[in-house]
Structure 1
Amino acid sequence: MTFLTRPILFAPLLLLALSGCISLGGEPPESLLTLNPESRAPAGQGIAQGGERPVVAVLTFDTPAKLDVLRVPVEVSATELAYLQEAFWVEKPARLFRRLVGETIRSRGAAMVVDGDDTAMLATVTLRGTLIDMGYDAPGSAAVVRFDAVKVGKDGAVVTRRFEARETGIPAETRAVGAALNSAANRVAAEVADWVAGG
Structure 2
Amino acid sequence: MANKLLIVAALVPLAGCIRFGATPPPSLLTIAPQAQPAAGTVQNSATGRAIVIEVPAVPQSIAGTRVPVQATDTSLAYVKDAQWAEPPARLFARLLSDTLTARAQMVVLSPAQSFDAPSATLGGELRTFGVDAVQRQAVVTYDASFTPAGKPTVEKRRFEARVPVGAIDAAQSGAALSQAANQVAQQVSDWVGTQR
Which of 113, 133, 143 does residue 119 from structure 1 map onto?
113
Residue 25 of structure 2: aligned partner:
29
- Give secondary structure in 2 for the equivalent of 1:150: strand
Give the AA of the match of 1:34: T
Q: How does 1:79-158 map to 2 (within 5 A)?
A: 79-108=74-103, 110-114=105-109, 116-121=110-115, 122-153=117-148, 154-158=150-154
Find out whether 1:45 has 2:41 as its counterpart. Answer: yes
Which of 148, 167, 171 does residue 167 from structure 2 map onto?
171
Query: Kindly tell me: are residues 14 and 117 of structure 1, through their superposed partners in 2, closer, same or farther at Cα, counting changes over 3 Å?
Result: farther
TM-score by length of 2: 0.88
Q: Distance in 2 between matches of 1:170 and 1:19?
A: 37
CA contact (8 A) 1:59 1:120 kept: no
How much has 1:13 moved relative to structure 2? 5.8
Of the structure 1 ranges 24-33 and 102-111, higher mean CA displacement relative to structure 2 is found in 24-33
**Which runs of no fewer than 5 residues in structure 2 stay unpaired?**
none
Query: Kindly tell me: are residues 128 and 172 of structure 1, through their superposed partners in 2, closer, same or farther at Cα, counting changes over 3 Å?
Result: same
Q: Distance in 2 between matches of 1:40 and 1:94?
A: 18
Bigger Rg, which one: 1
- Give secondary structure in 2 for the equivalent of 1:32: coil
**Which runs of no fewer than 5 residues in structure 1 stay unpaired?**
none
Q: Distance in 2 between matches of 1:69 and 1:112?
A: 29
CA contact (8 A) 1:67 1:134 kept: yes
Runs of 4+ with deviation above 6 angstroms: 14-20
Give the AA of the match of 1:156: P
Question: What are the Cα deviations for residues 151-183 of structure 1, in whole angstroms up to 9, with x where unaligned?
Answer: 111212211110000012532122111111111
Aligned length: 193
Query: Kindly tell me: are residues 10 and 176 of structure 1, through their superposed partners in 2, closer, same or farther at Cα, counting changes over 3 Å?
Result: closer
